[in-house]
Amino acid sequence: MVCTGNICRSPMADVILRHLLADAGIDDVEVSSSGMGGWHVGEGADRRTVSTLARHGYDGASHIASQFDPRDFDRYDLVLAADRGHQRALHRAARTDADRAKVRLLREFDPAAVAAGTLEVDDPWYGVTADFERCLREVEAACRGLIETLQALDHADGTADRPAADRTDATKDES
Ligand code: 4NP
Task: Tell me the average confidence (pLDDT) per consecutive run of 10 residues in the chain, 175 residues long.
Answer: 98 98 96 98 98 98 98 98 98 98 98 98 97 98 97 76 45 38
pTM: 0.89
Element (H, E) at 80: strand 79-81
Contact yes or no for 146/21 (Cβ under 8 A):
no
| Ligand 1 atom nearest 6 alpha carbon | 5
pLDDT digits (tens, 9 = 90+) for 125-175: 999 999 999 999 999 999 999 999 999 988 887 554 444 444 444 443 433
Atom 14, ligand 1: residue with shortest CA distance: 5
Give kind and range of the element (H or E) at residue 144: helix 129-156
| Contact residues for 113 (Cβ-Cβ < 8 A; gap 6+) | 107, 119, 138, 141, 142
The answer to whether 20 and 147 have CB atoms below 8 angstroms apart is: yes
CA of 93 to the centre of ligand 1 (A): 19
- Per annotation, catalytic residue among 99, 122, 123, 131: 123
